[in-house]
Amino acid sequence: MADFSGFYKLTVAERQKIIKAHAGLTDAELAALNDMGALKPELADRMVENVIGAIHLPLGLATNFRINGKDMVIPMALEEPSVIAAACRAAKLCLPEGFRAEADEPVMTGQVQLMDVPDLELALRNLDTNRHEILKIAGEYMKPHKRWGGKVLDFHSRALQSEKGAILLVEFDINVSDAMGANMVNTTLEGVAPTLATLSGGKTCLRIITNLAVKRKVRASALWKKGAIGEDVVEGILNGYALARADIYRCATHNKGIMNGIDAVVLATGNDWRAVEAGAHAYASMGEYHPLTRYEKNEKGDLLGSIELPMAVATVGGAVNSSPTAKIALKIAGIKTSQELAMACACVGLANNFAALAALGTVGIQAGHMKLHAKNVAVIAGAQTPEEIDAVAAELAEKKNFGSDFAKEILDRIRQAKK
């Protein structure tokens, strides 16, 4: 076992030398770790701890998107075949009108937990009586962000019962402008917490943002005309939506399909996809777990689709500023504000959900998915040049046999023919 003490103090090259010996990596495998693309080793080493390399995902573009009358190409980063193609096709099918979208103001909520409060009713009154002082103190910590529109809006308090006893929860609503907001919210909470403890007589515990950003939601909708997609697709989507509403097992996968598109945009733009995922599924669980999209047929038989979910994304701060490709992605999309990015995410999520339901409700999803996946199988089998990959993938799709052993047989045959 290698000695990893002080590993964090080493350079990237020094860490790679240790891990090469520890794991028995080949020179080729070490070279793959060294290929960090646009993310330089010295930058990566300042973003996270114990860096030894970087992983790579394809960065593609979703085309055909018209959002609120504006034509956009939207960058998406992911490894799953057919997601980008599906988004492009769904967006094209609702042209020329395209998507309508709107996003709430970028308001995030932060929570301060107080325990061992001697008198909850008295504490609640004290906090309310001293509202102006509390907001003034919290506002001091938001001053650096004031020029960008960041500010503390208000707070509210409530009492909860838990297995550890009564909890006094104080929640602050904070406009975080074009940032995701975690750092500024958490800094503000930690700054105001001692005052809350004094006024309540309680003990300060957690001081943290919530990812269930219900005051920072985004909504989008689109109309797919029956004449453009066919009545069988309309009914197939409505059938699939009905199942998602009726069954949680289907609903989980329904919502995952939405997040296929959203996560890809979030990742491409350097945002926190984990926070977006947590907020989306928590929101879907309010009441009973439900679909994040909705579908209905109008009087003409056309299909109206819509989506609503929390969307805490940023165009400044964090990895957005650190990642060179994230800034390029935002520039390609022409996105300036967090609200514009949230709307783009929602439209892509709706498009991917429409495309998945359209396939599932008619011909099935595997035909198109596996045709695109065939190139991955070809690479796994050892195909190296674009010509080899395309030739192997074409035969896999033609024979509808996507096994890796069959792909190796095809590749061997192609190479033998060239000799």
16-54 per-position pLDDT tens digit: 999 999 999 999 999 999 888 888 888 888 889 999 998
Q: 29 and 145: one domain?
A: no
What's the pLDDT tens digit per position in 297-345? 999 999 999 999 999 999 998 778 888 899 999 999 999 999 999 999 9
Residue 351 CA, distance from chain mean position: 15
Of these residues, 45, 80, 277, 390, which one is catalytic? 80
Q: Mapping DSSP to helix (H, G, I), strand (E, B) and coil, where does residue 108 land?
A: strand
Q: What is the pLDDT of residue 370?
A: 59
217 given a catalytic annotation: no
Q: 253 and 402: one domain?
A: no
- pLDDT surpassing 70 at residue 118: yes
In a domain? residue 54: no
Of these residues, 173, 178, 263, 272, which one is catalytic? 272
Number of CB atoms found within 10 A of residue 161's CB: 8
What is the residue whose two structure tokens read 């009713």? 121
Q: What is the pLDDT of residue 381?
A: 79
Q: Which residues pair with 76 in a beta bridge?
A: 60
CATH code of 395's domain = 1.10.8
Rounded to the nearest 10 degrees, the angle between the axes of helix 366-380 and helix 83-93 is 150
Number of CB atoms found within 10 A of residue 403's CB: 12
Of these residues, 254, 281, 369, 373, which one is catalytic? 369
Which of the four pLDDT bands, split at 50, 70 and 90, describes residue 417?
Answer: confident
Q: 111 and 184: one domain?
A: yes
Residues ≥6 apart with Cβ < 8 Å to 360: 236, 240
Q: 123 and 258: one domain?
A: no
What's the pLDDT tens digit per position in 134-163? 999 999 999 998 888 899 999 999 999 999
What's the pLDDT tens digit per position in 189-213? 999 999 999 999 999 999 999 999 9
Of these residues, 256, 297, 327, 408, which one is catalytic? 256
Q: 302 and 222: one domain?
A: yes
In a domain? residue 232: yes
Q: 196 and 329: one domain?
A: no
In a domain? residue 1: no
End-to-end CA gap in the chain: 46
209-234 burial code (b ≥16 CB/10 A, e <16)? bbbbbebbbbbbbbbbebeebeeebb
* This model's pTM is above 0.75: yes
Q: Which of 320, 338, 360 is the last residue of a domain?
A: 360
Pairing of strands 107-115, 203-209: antiparallel
22 given a catalytic annotation: no
331 given a catalytic annotation: no
In a domain? residue 187: yes
Q: Is 67 exposed, middle or buried (0-12, 13-18, 19+ CB in 10 A)?
A: buried
Q: Which of 190, 209, 228 is the last residue of a domain?
A: 209
Pick from 236, 346, 360, 359: nearest CA to 297: 236
Least confident range from 61-75, 82-96, 339-353, 387-401: namely 387-401
Provide the residue type at 383 as one letter.
A
- The domain in which residue 29 lies consists of 7-47
Which of the four pLDDT bands, split at 50, 70 and 90, describes residue 263?
Answer: very high
263 given a catalytic annotation: no
- The total of structural domains in the chain comes to 4
What is the residue whose two structure tokens read 């009905």? 242
